[in-house]
Amino acid sequence: MEPVSTGVALRVRTDDAPLEGSSIGSIPKVQAILGPMLETQRSAMTLSSFIRLAGACLAAIVIAAVAGRAWAAGEGAKTAATIIAAAASVESEGSKTRFKVILSKAVTAQVSLMERPDRVIIDLPEVAFHLPVEAGRSKEGLVASYRYGLFAPGRSRVVMELTQPAVVSGMTTTPDATGAATILTIELSRADRDEFRRSAAENAPPAKEAAVPVVQGAKDARPVIMIDPGHGGIDPGAATSSNNVVEKDLVLSFAQRLKRKFEESGRYKVLMTREQDVFVSLGDRVRAARAAQADLFISVHADSISGGQDVRGLTVYTGSERASDADSARLADRENKADAVAGVESGDMPDDVSDILMDLTLRETRSFSHGFASRLVGEFDSVARLNKNPHRQARFQVLRAHDIPSVLVELGYLSSQKDLDLLMSEEWRGKMVSAMSSAVDRFFATRFARRGAAAVLP
């Protein structure tokens, strides 16, 4: 059977793009309709019938545009979430490299390119990736590595790092041997720098919708704590060499436990920048904290760091234009690339300090951040193995809210086996959560003493 070009899929995506802004829920619906159409009509497809199908698809889009809202409201928007990616491979042949993924259902994919580093980005509806842990880790042809995951609710993404500039020379879907699944193939061809740049300019990745603001009623009198589990979705963060432990999962489960602990006393309102395995940009993390009028922002990480087994132990970071040391500067640089990892242009940071008033607020806020960091280190000291310099500073993007005291806690380093053993220990986690809870109590006790008791009353 001839492969079916999904050029139409690209057009469909282009045409349905405006829908995303008006009704997020309608997109999976459109894809759910297109999927079966492609599947049932593909078997006896000729060029002319394919063109007719293209017309039918576009007609379906028009109907969807009209009825999108009603469908989204009436049937829920989660229908497309059951697409499964069962296998993926990269094959190279001469100057071409093909990325193939076996999907349980035909989907519309949108492919785009980004420079520095050179990447190919494949946007898909929400896909559950059931791939082996080693998938995407080895170099093949033009593909240095690839990663995959949830990019936003309802949207998944594959990001391929390239070994050299390349352009997309083909995209096809074919049924697999059983006819039950679909193979999506993206073909890359070697290109020169100019050609890559031109193609990247023409095919910029779709923007991520602005994060849904944290839903909350009037701010209650309780202090608001925003917990920020690092990474997520397409951005896995650090991983152990066996890939059995991934930072994004480890910090999410720790953050959930921390949230429950903070909530125990009923004294705080506790929110999280992400509650699931989803990508959240650095800017959106800061925006979520500001939208919630958070009084404290705690980012939780467990990174790897070069320097091997020597570098270990819990470390608390605060934001600063000048890094306290070279290791911290490198770590912040790497963390600040989280958006690039997910194929998002950075530079949409809120709170770029632009006026003198903001600058003054930032200085005051940073002294509170330092105060909280010292309390944290003090509490951790008796229960944790601390880094030899446990309070460090660097220019972390996520610590840039000018009016919210913010810290980033490295629970430990996945690059250290000793740290990893602790991080996996329930008992150790329990101690850490209690220590952080005590530090939070002390921090707010001091703040409210300074503000006067009236500040905490309704």
Interface with Zn ion by CB under 5 A: which residues? Answer: 230, 237, 301, 303
Shortest distance in whole angstroms from residue 408 CB to Zn ion = 8
What tokens does 392 get? 């460090």
Map tokens 């309802």 to a residue.
154
How far is the C-alpha of 171 from the C-alpha of 81, rounded, in Å?
22
Shortest distance in whole angstroms from residue 249 CB to Zn ion = 12
How far is the C-alpha of 30 from the C-alpha of 12, rounded, in Å?
10
Shortest distance in whole angstroms from residue 121 CB to Zn ion = 21
Smaller CB separation from Zn ion, 232 or 237 = 237
Shortest distance in whole angstroms from residue 251 CB to Zn ion = 7
Expressed in percent and rounded to 5, the helix, strand and coil fractions of the chain are: 40, 25, 35
Provide the sign of the torsion angle of the four alpha carbons 319, 324, 326, 328, taken in this order. negative
Shortest distance in whole angstroms from residue 247 CB to Zn ion = 5
One-character DSSP codes across 208-249: PPPPPPPP-SS--SSPEEEEEE--BTTB---B-TTSSSBHHH
Q: What DSSP element (H or E) covers 129?
A: strand 127-129
Shortest distance in whole angstroms from residue 270 CB to Zn ion = 21
How far is the C-alpha of 299 from the C-alpha of 406, rounded, in Å?
8
Angle, CA of 287, 78 and 57, to the nearest 5°: 105
Shortest distance in whole angstroms from residue 300 CB to Zn ion = 9
Map tokens 């296998």 to a residue.
87
Shortest distance in whole angstroms from residue 42 CB to Zn ion = 43
Provide the sign of the torsion angle of the four alpha carbons 113, 400, 454, 225, taken in this order. positive
Smaller CB separation from Zn ion, 182 or 299 = 299
Shortest distance in whole angstroms from residue 295 CB to Zn ion = 23
One-character DSSP codes across 326-394: HHHHHHHHHHTTHHHHTT------S----SHHHHHHHHHHHHHHHHHHHHHHHHHHTTS-EEEEEEEEE
Smaller CB separation from Zn ion, 187 or 410 = 410
Q: What single letter denotes the amino acid at residue 159?
A: V
Hey, how many other C-beta atoms are within 10 angstroms of the C-beta on 440? 25
Provide the sign of the torsion angle of the four alpha carbons 254, 243, 86, 119, taken in this order. positive
Shortest distance in whole angstroms from residue 246 CB to Zn ion = 11
Smaller CB separation from Zn ion, 294 or 338 = 338
Smaller CB separation from Zn ion, 208 or 301 = 301
Shortest distance in whole angstroms from residue 299 CB to Zn ion = 8
Q: Measuring CA to CA, which residue among 143, 122, 200, 145 is closest to residue 167?
A: 200
The conformational region for residue 351 under phi > 0 = left, psi -120 to 50 = alpha, else beta, is: left
Residues near 24 by beta carbon (within 8 Å), at least 6 away in sequence: 72, 77, 154, 209
Smaller CB separation from Zn ion, 259 or 301 = 301
Smaller CB separation from Zn ion, 336 or 446 = 336
Residue sitting closest to Zn ion (CB): 301
Smaller CB separation from Zn ion, 113 or 238 = 238
Smaller CB separation from Zn ion, 186 or 399 = 399
Smaller CB separation from Zn ion, 28 or 230 = 230
Smaller CB separation from Zn ion, 13 or 400 = 400
